[in-house]
Structure 1
Amino acid sequence: MKFSVIIPVFNRSEELRELLQSLTNQSHHDFEVVVIEDGSAIDSSEIVEEFKSRLQIQYLIQANTGQGFARNNGMKIAQGDFFVILDSDVILPVDYLQKLSSAITIRKLDAFGGPDAASQDFSALQKAMDFAMTSFWTTGGIRGKMKDPSKYQARGFNMGVSRKVFEQTGGFVDPNQGEDIEWSIRIKKAGFILELVQEAFVYHKRKNTISSFSKQAFSFGRNRVNVSRFHPGAIKLVHWLPTAFSLFSLSILFSYFLNNTLFQISVGIFLLWSIAVILSSSSQNHSIKVGALSWVTSVLQLWSYGVGLPFELLKKASKG
Structure 2
Amino acid sequence: MFFSVIIPLFNRPQEIDELLQSLTKQRYQEFEVIIVEDGSSKPAKDNVEKYVGLLDVHYYAKPNEGQGFARNYGFARAKGNYFIVFDSDILVPHDYFDHVLTGLQRDGWDAFGGPDAAHSSFTAIQKAISYSMTSPFTTGGIRGNKAHLGPFHPRSFNMGLSKEVYNATEGFKLPRRSEDIEFSVRMIDMGFRVGLIPEAFVYHKRRATFVQFFKQTNYFGKGRIDIYQLFPRELKPVHALPTVFVLGLAVLILLNLINFLFPSPSTLLLALAMVGNILLSLYTLLLFLHACFSTKSVWIGLLSVLAACTQLIAYGTGFLGSYVQKVLLKK
TM-score, normalised to structure 1's length?
A: 0.97
Residues 230-249 of structure 1: pairs in structure 2 closer than 5 A: 230-249=230-249
Distance 1:77 1:16 in 2: 19
1:108-167, Cα deviation, whole Å (9 max, x unpaired)? 110001111101221100001101111011126211222369721111111111000011
Q: Does 1:97 align with 2:97?
A: yes
Query: SS at 1:316's partner residue?
Result: helix
What is the one-letter code of the residue matched to 2:151?
K
Q: Alpha-carbon deviation of 1:96?
A: 0.6
Q: Does 1:282 align with 2:292?
A: yes
Q: Does 1:208 align with 2:203?
A: no
Query: SS at 1:8's partner residue?
Result: strand
Give the CA RMSD over aligned residues. Answer: 1.4
Query: SS at 2:172's partner residue?
Result: coil
Distance 1:247 1:3 in 2: 46
Distance 1:149 1:247 in 2: 24
Q: Alpha-carbon deviation of 1:250?
A: 1.5
Residues 128-167 of structure 1: pairs in structure 2 closer than 5 A: 128-139=128-139, 141-147=141-147, 151-167=151-167
What is the one-letter code of the residue matched to 1:309?
F
Query: SS at 1:184's partner residue?
Result: helix
Contact preservation (8 Å) 1:112, 1:160: yes
TM-score, normalised to structure 2's length?
A: 0.94
Q: Does 1:188 align with 2:188?
A: yes
Distance 2:8 2:161 in 1: 16
Distance 2:239 2:147 in 1: 18
Query: SS at 2:139's partner residue?
Result: coil
Q: Alpha-carbon deviation of 1:319?
A: 3.5
Query: SS at 1:151's partner residue?
Result: coil
Q: Alpha-carbon deviation of 1:255?
A: 3.3
Distance 2:147 2:71 in 1: 30
Q: Alpha-carbon deviation of 1:263?
A: 1.2
Q: Greater CA radius of gyration, 1 or 2? A: 2
Query: SS at 2:5's partner residue?
Result: strand
Distance 1:9 1:145 in 2: 27
**Unmatched 5+ residue regions in structure 1?**
none
Q: Alpha-carbon deviation of 1:282?
A: 1.3
Query: SS at 2:33's partner residue?
Result: strand
Q: Which residue of 2 aligns with 1:55?
A: 55
Contact preservation (8 Å) 2:139, 2:239: no
Which of 296, 299, 316 is residue 306 of structure 2 equivalent to? 296
Q: Which residue of 1 aligns with 2:65?
A: 65
Contact preservation (8 Å) 2:133, 2:140: no
What is the one-letter code of the residue matched to 2:293?
S
1:164-210, Cα deviation, whole Å (9 max, x unpaired)? 00110111111111000011000000000110111111101124321
Q: Alpha-carbon deviation of 1:221?
A: 0.4
What is the one-letter code of the residue matched to 2:299?
K
Which of 258, 275, 286 is residue 265 of structure 1 equivalent to? 275
1:63-106, Cα deviation, whole Å (9 max, x unpaired)? 01100000000000000011100000100111011101110122
Aligned length: 320
What is the one-letter code of the residue matched to 1:125?
I
Q: Alpha-carbon deviation of 1:310?
A: 1.6
Contact preservation (8 Å) 1:37, 1:59: yes
What is the one-letter code of the residue matched to 1:166?
Y
What is the one-letter code of the residue matched to 1:2?
F
Q: Which residue of 1 aligns with 2:109?
A: 109
Contact preservation (8 Å) 1:110, 1:161: yes
What is the one-letter code of the residue matched to 1:297?
A
Distance 2:149 2:55 in 1: 32
Distance 2:104 2:282 in 1: 41
Contact preservation (8 Å) 1:149, 1:197: no
